[in-house]
Chains A and B, each alone.
Chain A
Amino acid sequence: MPHIEFRGVSHAYGERRVLEGIDLELTQQRIGVVGANGSGKSTLARMVNGLVVPTDGTVLVDGLDTGKQGAAIRRRVGFVFPDPEAQIVMPTVAEDVEFSLRRTDLTQPQKSERVREVLERFSLGDHHDHPAHQLSSGQKQLLALASILVTEPAILVCDEPTTLLDLRHSRKVTQLLESLDQQVLLVTHHLDLLAGWERVVVIDEGRVVADGAAAEAISFYRRLMGA
Protein backbone atom coordinates (compact mmCIF):
# COMPACT_ATOMS: atom_id res chain seq x y z
CA MET A 1 0.00 0.00 0.00
CA PRO A 2 1.08 3.58 -0.59
CA HIS A 3 2.25 5.54 2.41
CA ILE A 4 0.71 8.93 3.30
CA GLU A 5 2.39 10.88 6.05
CA PHE A 6 1.45 14.15 7.77
CA ARG A 7 4.33 15.65 9.75
CA GLY A 8 3.47 18.48 12.12
CA VAL A 9 0.92 19.91 9.70
CA SER A 10 -0.93 23.14 10.45
CA HIS A 11 -2.84 25.30 8.04
CA ALA A 12 -4.51 28.70 7.96
CA TYR A 13 -6.48 30.55 5.30
CA GLY A 14 -5.40 34.09 6.07
CA GLU A 15 -6.27 34.58 9.74
CA ARG A 16 -8.51 31.52 9.96
CA ARG A 17 -6.70 28.47 11.35
CA VAL A 18 -8.20 25.24 10.02
CA LEU A 19 -5.68 22.52 10.98
CA GLU A 20 -3.43 22.35 14.01
CA GLY A 21 -0.49 19.99 14.65
CA ILE A 22 -1.57 16.97 12.59
CA ASP A 23 0.72 13.93 12.71
CA LEU A 24 -0.60 10.89 10.86
CA GLU A 25 0.77 7.89 9.05
CA LEU A 26 -1.80 6.32 6.76
CA THR A 27 -0.89 2.92 5.33
CA GLN A 28 -4.20 1.04 5.40
CA GLN A 29 -6.16 0.36 2.23
CA ARG A 30 -9.47 1.76 3.49
CA ILE A 31 -9.30 4.94 5.53
CA GLY A 32 -12.25 7.10 6.54
CA VAL A 33 -12.10 10.70 7.72
CA VAL A 34 -15.10 12.16 9.56
CA GLY A 35 -15.75 15.51 11.15
CA ALA A 36 -18.31 18.30 11.40
CA ASN A 37 -18.65 21.06 8.82
CA GLY A 38 -15.65 23.35 9.06
CA SER A 39 -13.65 20.80 11.07
CA GLY A 40 -10.79 20.94 8.56
CA LYS A 41 -11.33 17.46 7.08
CA SER A 42 -11.69 18.70 3.49
CA THR A 43 -8.49 20.70 3.78
CA LEU A 44 -6.78 17.59 5.09
CA ALA A 45 -8.02 15.63 2.06
CA ARG A 46 -6.84 18.31 -0.39
CA MET A 47 -3.35 18.15 1.11
CA VAL A 48 -2.93 14.55 -0.01
CA ASN A 49 -3.30 15.65 -3.64
CA GLY A 50 -1.20 18.80 -3.18
CA LEU A 51 -4.21 21.02 -3.94
CA VAL A 52 -3.56 22.69 -0.62
CA VAL A 53 0.02 22.95 0.65
CA PRO A 54 0.20 23.33 4.44
CA THR A 55 1.41 26.63 5.85
CA ASP A 56 3.43 24.62 8.41
CA GLY A 57 4.77 21.06 8.31
CA THR A 58 4.92 18.64 5.38
CA VAL A 59 2.72 16.05 3.74
CA LEU A 60 4.54 13.14 2.11
CA VAL A 61 3.10 10.57 -0.28
CA ASP A 62 5.48 7.63 -0.75
CA GLY A 63 8.24 9.97 0.32
CA LEU A 64 7.35 12.70 -2.18
CA ASP A 65 6.75 16.17 -0.71
CA THR A 66 3.32 17.42 -1.88
CA GLY A 67 4.56 21.00 -1.71
CA LYS A 68 7.57 20.43 -3.95
CA GLN A 69 6.59 17.54 -6.23
CA GLY A 70 2.98 18.47 -6.92
CA ALA A 71 2.91 17.18 -10.49
CA ALA A 72 4.23 13.73 -9.51
CA ILE A 73 1.82 13.67 -6.56
CA ARG A 74 -1.20 14.41 -8.76
CA ARG A 75 -0.28 11.55 -11.11
CA ARG A 76 -0.29 9.25 -8.10
CA VAL A 77 -3.32 10.63 -6.23
CA GLY A 78 -6.77 10.93 -7.83
CA PHE A 79 -9.31 13.28 -6.26
CA VAL A 80 -13.11 13.06 -6.38
CA PHE A 81 -15.12 16.13 -5.36
CA PRO A 82 -18.64 16.33 -3.88
CA ASP A 83 -20.14 18.02 -6.94
CA PRO A 84 -19.65 15.96 -10.12
CA GLU A 85 -21.20 18.83 -12.10
CA ALA A 86 -18.04 20.83 -11.50
CA GLN A 87 -15.72 17.89 -11.91
CA ILE A 88 -16.82 16.91 -15.41
CA VAL A 89 -15.01 19.36 -17.64
CA MET A 90 -15.77 18.09 -21.15
CA PRO A 91 -19.10 18.29 -23.00
CA THR A 92 -19.54 14.56 -23.66
CA VAL A 93 -18.99 11.44 -21.56
CA ALA A 94 -16.15 9.86 -23.55
CA GLU A 95 -14.36 13.18 -24.06
CA ASP A 96 -14.26 13.74 -20.32
CA VAL A 97 -12.60 10.37 -19.65
CA GLU A 98 -10.19 10.85 -22.53
CA PHE A 99 -9.22 14.27 -21.20
CA SER A 100 -7.52 12.47 -18.29
CA LEU A 101 -5.32 10.56 -20.76
CA ARG A 102 -4.08 13.61 -22.67
CA ARG A 103 -0.58 13.46 -21.25
CA THR A 104 -0.02 9.73 -21.50
CA ASP A 105 2.05 8.03 -24.20
CA LEU A 106 -0.93 6.02 -25.42
CA THR A 107 -1.86 6.13 -29.10
CA GLN A 108 -5.34 7.32 -30.09
CA PRO A 109 -6.73 3.78 -30.59
CA GLN A 110 -5.29 2.72 -27.23
CA LYS A 111 -6.89 5.74 -25.57
CA SER A 112 -10.27 5.00 -27.14
CA GLU A 113 -9.99 1.39 -25.97
CA ARG A 114 -9.18 2.45 -22.40
CA VAL A 115 -12.08 4.90 -22.41
CA ARG A 116 -14.47 2.20 -23.65
CA GLU A 117 -13.27 -0.26 -21.01
CA VAL A 118 -13.60 2.10 -18.12
CA LEU A 119 -17.05 3.33 -19.21
CA GLU A 120 -18.20 -0.28 -19.49
CA ARG A 121 -16.94 -0.97 -15.98
CA PHE A 122 -18.86 2.01 -14.57
CA SER A 123 -22.09 1.04 -16.39
CA LEU A 124 -21.79 4.06 -18.68
CA GLY A 125 -21.04 2.09 -21.83
CA ASP A 126 -24.36 3.10 -23.41
CA HIS A 127 -23.65 6.79 -22.82
CA HIS A 128 -20.32 7.00 -24.66
CA ASP A 129 -21.21 10.03 -26.81
CA HIS A 130 -23.96 11.51 -24.65
CA PRO A 131 -23.72 15.07 -23.41
CA ALA A 132 -22.61 14.90 -19.77
CA HIS A 133 -25.45 17.13 -18.61
CA GLN A 134 -28.03 14.53 -19.69
CA LEU A 135 -26.78 12.03 -17.09
CA SER A 136 -28.49 11.63 -13.71
CA SER A 137 -26.53 12.97 -10.75
CA GLY A 138 -25.57 9.42 -9.76
CA GLN A 139 -24.31 8.71 -13.26
CA LYS A 140 -22.40 11.99 -13.19
CA GLN A 141 -20.58 10.93 -10.05
CA LEU A 142 -19.80 7.55 -11.67
CA LEU A 143 -18.42 9.44 -14.68
CA ALA A 144 -16.31 11.63 -12.40
CA LEU A 145 -14.92 8.44 -10.80
CA ALA A 146 -14.32 6.85 -14.20
CA SER A 147 -12.40 9.92 -15.39
CA ILE A 148 -10.15 9.77 -12.34
CA LEU A 149 -9.62 5.99 -12.26
CA VAL A 150 -8.82 5.69 -15.98
CA THR A 151 -5.32 6.98 -15.18
CA GLU A 152 -4.95 4.22 -12.55
CA PRO A 153 -3.77 6.34 -9.62
CA ALA A 154 -2.30 4.52 -6.62
CA ILE A 155 -4.44 6.49 -4.16
CA LEU A 156 -7.99 7.77 -4.46
CA VAL A 157 -9.12 10.64 -2.23
CA CYS A 158 -12.89 11.21 -2.14
CA ASP A 159 -14.34 14.34 -0.56
CA GLU A 160 -17.98 13.58 0.33
CA PRO A 161 -18.60 11.81 -2.98
CA THR A 162 -22.13 10.76 -1.95
CA THR A 163 -23.40 13.99 -0.38
CA LEU A 164 -25.41 15.04 -3.42
CA LEU A 165 -26.63 11.56 -4.35
CA ASP A 166 -29.79 9.67 -3.48
CA LEU A 167 -29.51 6.55 -1.35
CA ARG A 168 -29.42 4.13 -4.26
CA HIS A 169 -26.60 5.88 -6.12
CA SER A 170 -24.85 6.56 -2.86
CA ARG A 171 -24.73 2.78 -2.23
CA LYS A 172 -23.54 2.13 -5.76
CA VAL A 173 -20.66 4.58 -5.43
CA THR A 174 -19.70 3.15 -2.04
CA GLN A 175 -19.76 -0.44 -3.33
CA LEU A 176 -17.55 0.68 -6.17
CA LEU A 177 -15.10 2.33 -3.79
CA GLU A 178 -15.01 -0.84 -1.68
CA SER A 179 -14.16 -2.96 -4.73
CA LEU A 180 -11.14 -0.90 -5.78
CA ASP A 181 -7.56 -2.15 -5.56
CA GLN A 182 -6.42 1.36 -4.76
CA GLN A 183 -5.81 2.86 -1.37
CA VAL A 184 -8.94 4.92 -0.66
CA LEU A 185 -9.22 7.91 1.66
CA LEU A 186 -12.92 8.71 2.07
CA VAL A 187 -14.09 11.94 3.68
CA THR A 188 -17.76 11.64 4.57
CA HIS A 189 -20.71 12.54 6.76
CA HIS A 190 -22.43 9.23 6.11
CA LEU A 191 -21.07 7.21 9.00
CA ASP A 192 -22.73 3.98 7.92
CA LEU A 193 -20.64 4.05 4.73
CA LEU A 194 -17.54 3.49 6.83
CA ALA A 195 -18.72 0.36 8.64
CA GLY A 196 -16.05 -2.29 8.30
CA TRP A 197 -13.34 0.13 7.14
CA GLU A 198 -9.89 -0.53 8.49
CA ARG A 199 -9.28 2.85 10.04
CA VAL A 200 -11.31 5.97 10.75
CA VAL A 201 -9.81 9.33 11.73
CA VAL A 202 -12.06 11.84 13.51
CA ILE A 203 -11.22 15.53 13.05
CA ASP A 204 -12.66 18.24 15.24
CA GLU A 205 -11.73 21.94 15.20
CA GLY A 206 -8.59 21.22 13.19
CA ARG A 207 -7.24 18.42 15.39
CA VAL A 208 -7.29 14.63 15.34
CA VAL A 209 -9.53 13.67 18.29
CA ALA A 210 -9.95 9.96 17.59
CA ASP A 211 -8.13 7.50 15.37
CA GLY A 212 -8.62 3.78 15.15
CA ALA A 213 -10.88 0.96 14.06
CA ALA A 214 -14.13 2.05 12.46
CA ALA A 215 -16.51 0.98 15.24
CA GLU A 216 -14.77 2.81 18.10
CA ALA A 217 -13.96 5.93 16.11
CA ILE A 218 -17.52 6.22 14.83
CA SER A 219 -19.08 5.77 18.29
CA PHE A 220 -16.65 8.39 19.63
CA TYR A 221 -17.77 10.75 16.86
CA ARG A 222 -21.45 10.15 17.65
CA ARG A 223 -20.81 11.06 21.30
CA LEU A 224 -18.85 14.12 20.21
CA MET A 225 -21.76 15.31 18.09
CA GLY A 226 -24.13 14.69 21.01
CA ALA A 227 -26.11 12.03 19.21
Chain B
Amino acid sequence: MLTGTYVPGRSLVHRATPGLKLVLLAVFLVPISIWQTPLLAGVSAAVVLVGFAVARIPLRYLLAELKPLRWFLAVLVPYQWWALGLEAALQLLVGLVISVAAASLVTLSTRVSDLLDTVQRGLQPLRRLGVDPDKVALTVSLALRAIPVVRDLLHQTLEARRARGLERSPRALATPLVIRTVRHAERVGEALAARGYDD
Protein backbone atom coordinates (compact mmCIF):
# COMPACT_ATOMS: atom_id res chain seq x y z
CA MET B 1 0.00 0.00 0.00
CA LEU B 2 1.13 3.49 -0.63
CA THR B 3 2.17 5.33 2.43
CA GLY B 4 2.58 9.01 2.85
CA THR B 5 5.44 10.67 4.60
CA TYR B 6 3.71 11.06 7.95
CA VAL B 7 5.95 10.97 11.00
CA PRO B 8 3.70 10.12 13.97
CA GLY B 9 3.67 12.47 16.95
CA ARG B 10 1.50 14.42 19.37
CA SER B 11 3.20 17.80 19.21
CA LEU B 12 1.50 21.16 18.77
CA VAL B 13 2.43 20.97 15.08
CA HIS B 14 0.85 17.53 14.72
CA ARG B 15 -2.31 18.55 16.54
CA ALA B 16 -2.94 21.75 14.57
CA THR B 17 -5.72 21.22 12.02
CA PRO B 18 -4.53 20.57 8.45
CA GLY B 19 -6.50 23.61 7.30
CA LEU B 20 -4.66 25.91 9.71
CA LYS B 21 -1.31 24.46 8.69
CA LEU B 22 -2.07 25.03 5.04
CA VAL B 23 -3.02 28.65 5.65
CA LEU B 24 0.10 29.27 7.76
CA LEU B 25 2.28 27.68 5.10
CA ALA B 26 0.80 29.88 2.39
CA VAL B 27 1.34 33.02 4.53
CA PHE B 28 4.90 31.96 5.39
CA LEU B 29 5.85 31.44 1.75
CA VAL B 30 4.82 34.91 0.57
CA PRO B 31 7.71 37.06 1.88
CA ILE B 32 10.43 34.52 1.11
CA SER B 33 9.15 34.26 -2.44
CA ILE B 34 9.20 38.03 -3.00
CA TRP B 35 12.13 39.52 -1.04
CA GLN B 36 15.18 37.40 -0.70
CA THR B 37 17.29 39.39 1.74
CA PRO B 38 19.81 37.53 3.89
CA LEU B 39 18.00 38.68 7.06
CA LEU B 40 14.64 37.37 5.87
CA ALA B 41 16.25 34.14 4.75
CA GLY B 42 17.85 33.70 8.16
CA VAL B 43 14.61 34.39 10.03
CA SER B 44 12.64 32.06 7.74
CA ALA B 45 15.17 29.27 8.12
CA ALA B 46 15.03 29.70 11.91
CA VAL B 47 11.21 29.51 11.85
CA VAL B 48 11.29 26.27 9.88
CA LEU B 49 13.92 24.71 12.14
CA VAL B 50 11.95 25.72 15.26
CA GLY B 51 8.92 24.11 13.63
CA PHE B 52 10.80 20.84 13.15
CA ALA B 53 12.10 21.02 16.73
CA VAL B 54 8.60 21.59 18.17
CA ALA B 55 7.24 18.74 16.03
CA ARG B 56 10.18 16.58 17.16
CA ILE B 57 10.72 15.38 13.62
CA PRO B 58 14.35 14.27 13.17
CA LEU B 59 16.23 16.24 10.52
CA ARG B 60 16.99 13.11 8.47
CA TYR B 61 13.33 13.17 7.38
CA LEU B 62 13.85 16.74 6.21
CA LEU B 63 16.98 15.75 4.29
CA ALA B 64 15.07 12.96 2.56
CA GLU B 65 12.45 15.46 1.41
CA LEU B 66 15.14 17.85 0.12
CA LYS B 67 16.91 15.10 -1.83
CA PRO B 68 14.86 15.49 -5.04
CA LEU B 69 16.24 19.03 -5.37
CA ARG B 70 19.83 17.86 -5.70
CA TRP B 71 20.03 17.47 -9.50
CA PHE B 72 18.30 20.73 -10.12
CA LEU B 73 20.59 22.58 -7.72
CA ALA B 74 23.73 20.75 -8.90
CA VAL B 75 23.22 22.14 -12.37
CA LEU B 76 21.75 25.54 -11.64
CA VAL B 77 23.68 26.81 -8.63
CA PRO B 78 27.06 26.75 -10.43
CA TYR B 79 25.39 28.30 -13.47
CA GLN B 80 23.90 31.12 -11.39
CA TRP B 81 27.24 31.68 -9.72
CA TRP B 82 28.94 31.98 -13.11
CA ALA B 83 26.18 34.11 -14.67
CA LEU B 84 25.01 36.35 -11.82
CA GLY B 85 27.51 35.90 -9.01
CA LEU B 86 27.75 34.09 -5.73
CA GLU B 87 25.00 36.07 -4.02
CA ALA B 88 22.40 35.16 -6.63
CA ALA B 89 23.45 31.53 -6.50
CA LEU B 90 23.12 31.40 -2.73
CA GLN B 91 19.71 33.09 -2.85
CA LEU B 92 18.47 30.48 -5.31
CA LEU B 93 19.74 27.72 -3.07
CA VAL B 94 18.47 29.15 0.22
CA GLY B 95 15.08 30.25 -1.11
CA LEU B 96 14.28 26.84 -2.57
CA VAL B 97 15.54 24.85 0.37
CA ILE B 98 13.57 26.93 2.88
CA SER B 99 10.30 26.79 1.00
CA VAL B 100 10.55 23.05 0.31
CA ALA B 101 11.46 22.45 3.96
CA ALA B 102 8.47 24.47 5.18
CA ALA B 103 6.09 22.58 2.93
CA SER B 104 7.62 19.28 4.09
CA LEU B 105 7.02 20.19 7.73
CA VAL B 106 3.29 20.35 7.03
CA THR B 107 3.32 17.10 5.05
CA LEU B 108 5.46 15.22 7.57
CA SER B 109 3.24 16.22 10.50
CA THR B 110 -0.13 15.50 8.82
CA ARG B 111 -1.73 12.17 7.94
CA VAL B 112 -2.61 11.64 4.28
CA SER B 113 -6.18 10.75 5.25
CA ASP B 114 -6.52 13.99 7.28
CA LEU B 115 -5.27 16.05 4.37
CA LEU B 116 -7.69 14.27 2.03
CA ASP B 117 -10.54 14.94 4.47
CA THR B 118 -9.55 18.60 4.55
CA VAL B 119 -9.51 18.70 0.76
CA GLN B 120 -12.94 17.08 0.69
CA ARG B 121 -14.32 19.60 3.20
CA GLY B 122 -12.68 22.40 1.26
CA LEU B 123 -14.61 21.24 -1.79
CA GLN B 124 -18.02 21.55 -0.08
CA PRO B 125 -18.49 25.24 -1.07
CA LEU B 126 -17.79 24.24 -4.68
CA ARG B 127 -20.98 22.15 -4.78
CA ARG B 128 -22.69 25.07 -6.44
CA LEU B 129 -20.20 24.94 -9.28
CA GLY B 130 -21.15 21.31 -9.87
CA VAL B 131 -18.29 19.73 -7.89
CA ASP B 132 -19.51 16.66 -6.01
CA PRO B 133 -17.21 16.01 -3.01
CA ASP B 134 -18.58 12.48 -2.59
CA LYS B 135 -17.62 11.68 -6.18
CA VAL B 136 -14.16 13.11 -5.54
CA ALA B 137 -13.79 10.95 -2.42
CA LEU B 138 -14.97 7.84 -4.28
CA THR B 139 -12.57 8.47 -7.16
CA VAL B 140 -9.66 8.91 -4.73
CA SER B 141 -10.56 5.56 -3.13
CA LEU B 142 -10.89 3.92 -6.53
CA ALA B 143 -7.45 5.23 -7.49
CA LEU B 144 -5.83 3.98 -4.27
CA ARG B 145 -7.46 0.61 -4.87
CA ALA B 146 -6.36 0.59 -8.53
CA ILE B 147 -2.67 1.32 -7.87
CA PRO B 148 -1.72 -2.23 -6.74
CA VAL B 149 -3.93 -3.72 -9.46
CA VAL B 150 -2.27 -1.70 -12.23
CA ARG B 151 1.12 -2.55 -10.73
CA ASP B 152 0.24 -6.25 -11.06
CA LEU B 153 -0.87 -5.66 -14.65
CA LEU B 154 2.46 -3.91 -15.28
CA HIS B 155 4.43 -6.87 -13.95
CA GLN B 156 2.36 -9.35 -15.96
CA THR B 157 2.93 -7.28 -19.09
CA LEU B 158 6.66 -6.99 -18.44
CA GLU B 159 6.85 -10.78 -18.09
CA ALA B 160 4.87 -11.38 -21.26
CA ARG B 161 7.17 -8.99 -23.10
CA ARG B 162 10.24 -10.83 -21.82
CA ALA B 163 8.71 -14.18 -22.80
CA ARG B 164 8.40 -12.92 -26.37
CA GLY B 165 11.92 -11.51 -26.42
CA LEU B 166 10.77 -7.92 -26.84
CA GLU B 167 12.44 -6.45 -23.74
CA ARG B 168 13.47 -3.25 -25.44
CA SER B 169 10.23 -2.42 -27.17
CA PRO B 170 8.32 0.31 -25.27
CA ARG B 171 5.35 -0.36 -27.51
CA ALA B 172 5.19 -4.04 -26.50
CA LEU B 173 4.89 -2.80 -22.93
CA ALA B 174 2.63 0.22 -23.16
CA THR B 175 -0.03 -0.94 -25.63
CA PRO B 176 -1.03 -4.16 -23.82
CA LEU B 177 -0.68 -2.47 -20.43
CA VAL B 178 -3.01 0.38 -21.38
CA ILE B 179 -5.52 -2.01 -22.96
CA ARG B 180 -5.50 -4.17 -19.82
CA THR B 181 -5.89 -1.07 -17.65
CA VAL B 182 -8.85 0.12 -19.70
CA ARG B 183 -10.51 -3.33 -19.62
CA HIS B 184 -10.01 -3.50 -15.86
CA ALA B 185 -11.51 -0.03 -15.41
CA GLU B 186 -14.54 -0.95 -17.49
CA ARG B 187 -15.12 -4.03 -15.33
CA VAL B 188 -14.85 -1.86 -12.21
CA GLY B 189 -17.32 0.58 -13.74
CA GLU B 190 -19.72 -2.27 -14.45
CA ALA B 191 -19.35 -3.62 -10.91
CA LEU B 192 -20.08 -0.15 -9.50
CA ALA B 193 -23.14 0.11 -11.72
CA ALA B 194 -24.27 -3.34 -10.54
CA ARG B 195 -23.98 -2.07 -6.97
CA GLY B 196 -26.36 0.72 -7.90
CA TYR B 197 -23.82 3.54 -8.12
CA ASP B 198 -25.36 5.15 -11.20
CA ASP B 199 -28.94 4.96 -9.90
Direct A–B contact in the complex, CB atoms closer than 8 angstroms: yes
Residues of A within 8 A of B (CB): 49, 51, 70-71, 74-75, 78-79, 81, 83, 85-91, 95, 99-100, 103, 131-133, 147-148
> Which of A86, A103, A148 touches B188 (beta carbons < 8 Å)?
A86
Contact B190 A100 (CB under 8 A): no
CA distance A152 to B149 in the complex (A): 28
Q: Tell me whether B192 is interfacial, beta carbon within 8 Å.
A: yes
Closest chain-B Cβ to A90's Cβ sits at a distance in Å of 5
Name the residue of chain A whose CB is nearest to the CB of B141.
A90
The number of A-B residue pairs with CB atoms under 8 Å apart is: 59
Task: Report the minimal beta-carbon distance from A189 to chain B, rounded to whole angstroms.
Answer: 18
**Other A-B pairs, 15, CB within 8 Å; known A71-B196, A91-B141:** A70-B199, A74-B196, A74-B199, A78-B194, A79-B195, A85-B149, A86-B188, A86-B191, A87-B188, A88-B145, A89-B192, A103-B196, A131-B1, A133-B148, A133-B152
Beta-carbon contacts under 8 Å, B16-64 to A:
none
Q: Which residues of A contact B193 (CB under 8 A)?
A: 51
Residue B187, interface by CB 8 Å:
yes
Q: Are A83 and B187 in contact (CB under 8 A)?
A: yes
Contact A86 B184 (CB under 8 A): yes
Q: Are A87 and B145 in contact (CB under 8 A)?
A: no
Interface assignment of B144: CB less than 8 Å from any CB of chain A: yes
A74–B142 alpha-carbon span in the complex (Å): 21
Residues of B within 8 A of A133 (CB): 1, 145, 148-149, 152
Question: In the complex the two chains form, is A51's CB within 8 Å of B190's CB?
Answer: yes
Minimum CB–CB distance for B105 against chain A, Å: 27
Interface size on B, residues (CB 8 A): 19
In the complex the two chains form, is A91's CB within 8 Å of B149's CB? no
Using CB atoms, name the residue of chain B closest to A74: B196
Identify 22 residue pairs between A and B in the complex whose beta-carbon atoms are under 8 Å apart, listed by A's number. Answer: A74-B194, A74-B195, A74-B196, A75-B196, A78-B194, A79-B191, A83-B187, A85-B149, A86-B184, A86-B188, A87-B188, A89-B192, A90-B141, A91-B1, A91-B141, A91-B144, A91-B145, A132-B145, A133-B148, A133-B149, A133-B152, A147-B195
Task: Please give me the 6 A-B residue pairs with the lowest Cβ-Cβ distance, nearest first.
Answer: A71-B199, A86-B187, A133-B148, A79-B194, A74-B196, A87-B191
Closest B residue, CB atoms, query A96: B145
Contact of A81 with B195 in the complex, beta carbons under 8 Å? no
> Within 8 Å CB of A78, what residues of B?
194
Shortest CB-to-CB span from B141 to chain A, Å, is 5
Q: List chain B residues, Cβ under 8 A from A91.
A: 1, 141, 144-145
Cβ–Cβ < 8 Å partners of A89 in chain B: 141-142, 145, 188, 191-192, 195
CB neighbours (8 Å) of A99 from chain B are 195
Residues of A within 8 A of B141 (CB): 89-91, 95
What B residues does A95 contact at CB under 8 A?
A: 141
Complex-state Cα separation, A100 to B194, whole angstroms: 11
Selected contact of B194 from candidates A49, A85, A88, A90, CB within 8 Å: A49
- Docked Cα-Cα span, A103 to B138, in Å, equals 14
**Nearest Cβ distance between residue B14 and chain A, in whole angstroms?**
22
Contact indicator per residue, chain B 165-199, by CB within 8 Å of chain A (1) or not (0) = 00000000000000000001001101111111001
A85-B149, A91-B1 given; A148·B190 CB < 8 A? no
| Chain A residues, Cβ within 8 Å of B144 | 91
